[in-house]
Amino acid sequence: MTEEVISTGSTKNQVSGSYPQPAVKKKRSLPGNPDPEADVIALSPKTLMATNRFLCEICGKGFQRDQNLQLHRRGHNLPWKLKQRSSKEVRKRVYVCPEKGCVHHHPSRALGDLTGIKKHFCRKHGEKKWKCEKCSKRYAVQSDWKAHSKTCGTKEYKCECGTIFSRRDSFVTHRAYCDALAEETARVKAASHVENHAGHVNYQFSLGPNMGQHFSSIFEPISCNSQKINDPMTRGISLWNMSKQTPLSQETLCKNLQEMHQMGISVSSLGAIYSCTDPLFNPCPSNPPAPTTTYQLNWDFAKSLNSSKAADDQLSCNSLPLNNINVKDVGNHQLAGSVPSLFSTQHQSHHQSSAANMSATALLQKAAQIGATTTDPSLVGNFGLKCTEIPVQNAVTTGLGSDFSAFNQLQMYPSMRHHIQNQDNIREGETRDFLGVGIQSICHPSSINGWI
């Protein structure tokens, strides 16, 4: 399609108007909005389908255009002559599609280019004779097929998580399940959920488009080697050292976790944000041990439970934390979405205790403020109980490692953290409790300090 045909009296191109536009490309209008002054030509299907009318005498090769034939003749050392365009004005020609019922059949929707109308006719109304070997896609126009064959199978698809695929179908399927997919629409739901929360939840972050950006910027480089997350996150991690775990906070945590689940964010990917170097939480598909180890933690967790709840409740609760949580509806998405952004945006407004803990404290408090209020005591209240009893026995043996694994447990319930701060109880001098869940025995003081 040539631009000149389209940019005629059509109103679509009156963009510039009277004021200078910054280098705006002329928009193409819909194909088939021809110059009203042009001649309308109706070619027969036979003519349209005919290809290669211009034949070379020497080798018999056919060409669609005379110009191409002339250029070809040079190769045979034959005299060639390119016809000049006649200087006098030529009436513009537009072509209609002979197929009745086709949108381009009517002169008002004629196409302006001969090649264009030919291709259109073949593509839409012709038989698809050309087939790609690799993917069996069919084409009516040979040039389309050729163009496709060049790129078929060579294209590599890269998911946001960093994995590369050579097959489109595996790429598409992976993407649907991949946690690294940026969640832009979360903020839309977020906005709708704001009103539902009363009380001490402090929506200091903007819920507008910025939030989405914050959100996605937090989430996007979810792969473990993302550097930009590390900074706020490390501070975020230190938050966990604060205060004692209370049952109420656990509920909040669990509820927030549930919301995050509904957001489609896997807890393990959250873990990745907070502990990028922790192999246990690498959501990248290329890291085999991750799910198993994470599971093992769950399993150990389950084993350690001595709650009175029925065995299968325990198990289901632990292998898939949200099993017995009432799944709230869409409205809950919002705050879950807000969680990650907490750590990058919330430092400022809250001041607490000692200067040494300022950033960590502030962060945590902010987190608590932003985090969802607990209005649903039924929500895994038992779960909260369980959370306090994590004596994580796990595969990771180093001090820091075991902190991590205990860490992991809590990471699954980020809302716990929020509520820790919510309680406003940053007790100085308290043993740095990684989880804030009373598992002081596990924590290695030196390694914890390494985090702060």
Partner 1 sequence: MDRTNSISSKEAAFLHVTNPQNNGIHLEMQGTNCRQPQESNITGLRSPDSGENSDGKWASRLLIECATAMSEKDSTKIHHLLWMLNELASPYGDCDQKLAFYFLQSLFCKATDSGQRCYKTLISVAEKSHSFDSVRKLILKFQEVSPWTTFGHVASNGAMLEALEGENKLHIIDISNTLCTQWPTLLEALATRNDETPHLKLTVVVTTSIVESVMKEITPRMEKFARLMGVPFEFRVMNGLNFLGELTKDSLGVQDDEAIAVNCIGALKRVDVEERRAFIQMIQSLRPKVVTVVEEEADFSSSRNDFVKCFEECLRFYTIYFDMLEESFAPTSNERLMLERECSRSIVSVLACDDEVDHGGDSERRERGSQWSVKLREAFVPVRYSDDVVDDVNALLRRYRTGWSLVLPAGADDVGLYLTWKEEPVVWASVWKP
How far from each other are the two terminal CA atoms of the chain, in whole angstroms? 63
**Closest separation between CB of residue 126 and partner 1, Å?**
15
**Closest separation between CB of residue 321 and partner 1, Å?**
9
With respect to partner 1, which residue has the nearer C-beta, 222 or 242?
A: 222
With respect to partner 1, which residue has the nearer C-beta, 95 or 301?
A: 301
Tokens of 232: 């706020």
**Closest separation between CB of residue 142 and partner 1, Å?**
18
**Closest separation between CB of residue 164 and partner 1, Å?**
13
**Closest separation between CB of residue 60 and partner 1, Å?**
33
SS3 labels along the chain: CCHHHHCCCCHHHCCCCCCCCCCCCCCCCCCCCCCCCCEEEECCHHHHHCCCCEECCCCCCEECCHHHHHHHHHHCCCCCCCCCCCCCCCCCEEEECCCCCCCCCCHHHCECCHHHHHHHHHHHHCCCCEECCCCCCEECCHHHHHHHHHHCCCCCEECCCCCEECCHHHHHHHHHHCCCCCCCCHHHHHHHHHHHCCCCCCCCCCCCHHHHHHHHHHHCCCCCCCCCCHHHHHHHHHHCCCCCCCHHHHHHHHHHHHHHHHCCCCHHHHHHHHCCCCHHHCCCCCCCHHHHHHHHHHHHHHHHCCCCCCHHHHHHHHHCCCCCCCCCCHHHHHHHHHHHHHHHHCCCCCCCCCHHHHHHHHHHHHHHHHCCCCCCCCCCHHHHHHHHCCCCCCCCCCHHHHHHHHHHHHHCCHHHHHHHHHCCCCCCCCCCCCCCCCCCCCCCHHHHHHHC
Tokens of 282: 């690498």
Q: Among 447, 412, 451, 428, which residue's Cα sits nearest to residue 437?
A: 412
Tokens of 40: 């309308």
| Residues lying near partner 1 in the complex (CB under 8 A) | 131, 134-136, 138, 167, 169-170, 172-177, 181, 183, 185, 261-264, 266, 268, 285, 288, 290-292, 294-295, 298-299, 302, 312, 315-316, 319-320, 322-323, 327
With respect to partner 1, which residue has the nearer C-beta, 53 or 303?
A: 303
Query: How far is the C-alpha of 360 from the C-alpha of 347, rounded, in Å?
Result: 8
With respect to partner 1, which residue has the nearer C-beta, 320 or 358?
A: 320
With respect to partner 1, which residue has the nearer C-beta, 94 or 181?
A: 181
With respect to partner 1, which residue has the nearer C-beta, 94 or 178?
A: 178
Positive or negative, the Cα torsion across 274, 224, 267, 389?
negative
**Closest separation between CB of residue 279 and partner 1, Å?**
14
With respect to partner 1, which residue has the nearer C-beta, 320 or 452?
A: 320
**Closest separation between CB of residue 216 and partner 1, Å?**
13
**Closest separation between CB of residue 313 and partner 1, Å?**
12
With respect to partner 1, which residue has the nearer C-beta, 159 or 443?
A: 159
260's CB contacts (< 8 A; 6+ apart) are 267, 270, 336, 337, 339, 414
**Closest separation between CB of residue 333 and partner 1, Å?**
8
Tokens of 146: 């050729």
With respect to partner 1, which residue has the nearer C-beta, 317 or 420?
A: 317
With respect to partner 1, which residue has the nearer C-beta, 166 or 398?
A: 166
**Closest separation between CB of residue 275 and partner 1, Å?**
16
**Closest separation between CB of residue 24 and partner 1, Å?**
26
With respect to partner 1, which residue has the nearer C-beta, 45 or 285?
A: 285
